[in-house]
């Protein structure tokens, strides 16, 4: 029965790893979201330098986690987030107040989709 | 990752139930859970191999989950007769004392043509000579003739069949398999004598040499290539 116990333990380990990974992903998205909140608030007030700095903080958080997220996520999802960061940065550099909200929405949606990929829900499973 | 685990478990158990309902015929020579594992594992491994944009972990996680499920199910079915019947099914008697059990045939979706084909394959042409035909849980049909129709054994005939035993390979393609030699209760000196008796200096020119417990040697020299 040693092999069966080992298989059961491995299965439990995988489930635990999946749960931890999902939590880690949610935390990462939440942290980046906080950076985006402060960036968006600064952009609304027209202080684009501050908005860019907050966005850069969010990007740094994302890039720091890429060693792990790269193992779990497909290239397509990773590229979509990088692209959304880049597009938003361009809008802020141009000081485009009208288009910036759409840029924030797009980046938040990309991050939320990634968190949802790791979250166990009937929609994701089925 | 959690989604992959959940999806793999759902697909694994759905396939297990589906194949179980389809009956034993579909299985070939594998047990049900092995068949499901074999059907899924190859495809799961191929997807991340073909699409380099997908993380390898997606495929590996699913394969690991399947591997764990297979080990757990085989362990549980080994311990519990009820679970064995649930996951693997029970053998079905398609012929009992020379009579075809038509209900069992229908239950297992086994046609008369298939039954006759299987019987012919086992050298039986007359159903009345068959005491039992058992459709095993791995899909194989085993045929047991009435005692009067079974071939007589040496013991029944009171004959001395002589010593036999499993032949152990001691030289394979010019290489001496020392572990096998020891297992056969022989040593290198014995091998050397055998080779010399056959006109060989060493084992390099031997393609196959086996010996059984009774000491009977099968010897095949290498043929000239080209």
Kindly state whether residue B137 falls inside one of the protein's structural domains: yes
- Look at A14 and B5 and tell me if their CB atoms are within 8 Å: yes
Indicate the SS3 state at residue B145: strand
> Could you give the angle at the alpha carbon of A79 between the alpha carbons of B10 and B50, nearest 5°?
50
HSE-CB for B166 with a 13 A CA cutoff: 7
**Full set of structural domains in chain A with CATH:** 25-125 (1.20.120.660)
Kindly state whether residue B199 falls inside one of the protein's structural domains: yes
Q: So what's the pLDDT on residue B18?
A: 66
Q: Which residues of B touch A21 (CB under 8 A)?
A: 1-2
Whether B97 and B84 share a structural domain: no
Alpha helices in B23-167 (DSSP H): 32-50, 56-79, 81-88, 102-107, 112-121, 154-157
Residue in B105, B123, B101, B104 with CA at minimum distance from that of residue B113 = B105
Kindly state whether residue B161 falls inside one of the protein's structural domains: no
Kindly state whether residue B60 falls inside one of the protein's structural domains: yes
Q: What is the pTM of this model?
A: 0.65
Bridge partners, residue B169, by sequence: B210
CB atoms within 10 A of CB B103: 9
HSE-CB for B156 with a 13 A CA cutoff: 6
Whether B78 and B50 share a structural domain: yes
HSE-CB for B210 with a 13 A CA cutoff: 9
The average confidence (pLDDT) of chain B is 85
Kindly state whether residue B21 falls inside one of the protein's structural domains: yes
Whether B142 and B173 share a structural domain: no
Whether B176 and B142 share a structural domain: no
Whether B14 and B83 share a structural domain: yes
CA distance, residue B7 to nearest chain A CA (Å): 6
Domain limits for position B55: 2-88
> Could you give the angle at the alpha carbon of B64 between the alpha carbons of B63 and B67, nearest 5°?
85
Q: Is A97 exposed, middle or buried (0-12, 13-18, 19+ CB in 10 A)?
A: middle
Q: Which residues of B touch A15 (CB under 8 A)?
A: 2, 5
Whether B106 and B51 share a structural domain: no
Kindly state whether residue B7 falls inside one of the protein's structural domains: yes
Q: So what's the pLDDT on residue B29?
A: 62
Left if phi > 0, otherwise alpha if psi is -120 to 50, otherwise beta: which for A85?
alpha
Q: Report CA torsion sign: A11, A17, A23, A28.
A: negative
Predicted confidence (pLDDT) at residue B226 exceeds the cutoff of 60: no
Does A53 touch chain B if contact means CB atoms closer than 8 Å? no
Bridge partners, residue B219, by sequence: B209
For chain B, what is the domain count? 3
- Look at A4 and B75 and tell me if their CB atoms are within 8 Å: yes
Chain A: residue whose CA lies nearest to B74: A4
* A14 vs B10, B58, B65: nearest CB: B65
Question: Which B residues 141-180 touch A at CB under 8 Å?
Answer: none
Q: What is the dihedral of CA B171, B207, B166, B197, to 10 degrees?
A: -70
Q: Report CA torsion sign: B37, B39, B42, B48.
A: negative
- Look at B61 and A14 and tell me if their CB atoms are within 8 Å: yes
Q: So what's the pLDDT on residue B24?
A: 60
pLDDT digits 0-9 by tens, B104-160? 999 888 899 999 999 999 888 899 999 999 998 888 899 999 998 888 888 888 888
Q: So what's the pLDDT on residue A116?
A: 85
What is the band of B165 on the pLDDT scale with cuts at 50, 70, 90?
Answer: confident
Per-residue pLDDT of chain A (126 residues; tens, 9 = 90+): 788 888 899 999 999 988 998 899 999 999 999 999 999 999 988 899 999 999 999 999 999 988 888 888 888 888 999 999 999 999 999 988 888 999 999 999 999 988 888 888 887 777
Residue in A121, A4, A14 with CA at minimum distance from that of residue B33 = A4
Q: What stretch of H or E contains B184?
A: none
CA distance, residue B114 to nearest chain A CA (Å): 38
CA distance, residue B50 to nearest chain A CA (Å): 13
Chain A: residue whose CA lies nearest to B5: A15
Q: How far is CA B119 from CA B103, B122, B212, in A?
A: 19, 5, 34
Question: Which B residues 67-126 touch A at CB under 8 Å?
Answer: 67-69, 71-72, 74-76, 79
């Amino acid at each position: 029965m040693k092999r069966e116990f080992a298989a059961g333990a491995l299965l439990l380990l995988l489930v635990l790893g999946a749960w931890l990974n999902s939590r880690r992903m949610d935390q990462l998205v939440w942290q980046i979201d906080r950076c985006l909140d402060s960036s968006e608030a600064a952009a609304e007030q027209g202080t684009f330098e501050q908005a860019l700095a907050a966005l850069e903080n969010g990007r740094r958080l994302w890039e720091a986690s890429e060693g792990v997220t790269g193992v779990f996520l497909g290239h397509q999802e990773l590229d979509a987030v990088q692209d959304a960061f880049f597009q938003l940065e361009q809008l802020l550099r141009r000081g485009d107040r009208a288009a910036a909200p759409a840029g924030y929405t797009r980046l938040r949606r990309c991050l939320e989709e990634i968190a949802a990929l790791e979250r166990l829900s009937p929609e994701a499973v089925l | 990752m959690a989604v992959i685990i959940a999806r793999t478990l759902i697909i694994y158990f759905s396939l297990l139930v589906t194949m179980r309902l389809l009956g034993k015929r579909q299985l070939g020579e594998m047990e049900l859970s092995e068949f499901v594992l074999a059907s899924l594992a190859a495809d799961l491994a191929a997807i991340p191999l073909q699409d380099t944009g997908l993380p390898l972990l997606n495929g590996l996680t699913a394969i690991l989950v399947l591997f764990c499920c297979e080990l757990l199910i085989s362990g549980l079915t080994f311990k519990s007769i009820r679970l064995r019947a649930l996951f693997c099914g029970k053998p079905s008697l398609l012929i009992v004392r020379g009579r075809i059990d038509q209900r069992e045939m229908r239950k297992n979706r086994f046609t008369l043509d298939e039954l006759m084909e299987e019987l012919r394959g086992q050298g039986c042409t007359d159903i009345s000579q068959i005491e039992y035909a058992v459709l095993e849980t791995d899909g194989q049909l085993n045929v047991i003739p009435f005692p009067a129709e079974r071939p007589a054994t040496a013991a029944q005939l009171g004959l001395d069949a002589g010593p036999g035993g499993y032949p152990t390979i001691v030289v394979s393609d010019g290489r001496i398999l020392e572990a096998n030699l020891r297992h056969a209760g022989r040593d290198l000196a014995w091998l050397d004598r055998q080779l010399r008796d056959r006109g060989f200096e060493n084992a390099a020119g031997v393609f196959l040499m086996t010996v059984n417990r009774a000491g009977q040697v099968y010897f095949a020299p290498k043929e000239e290539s080209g």
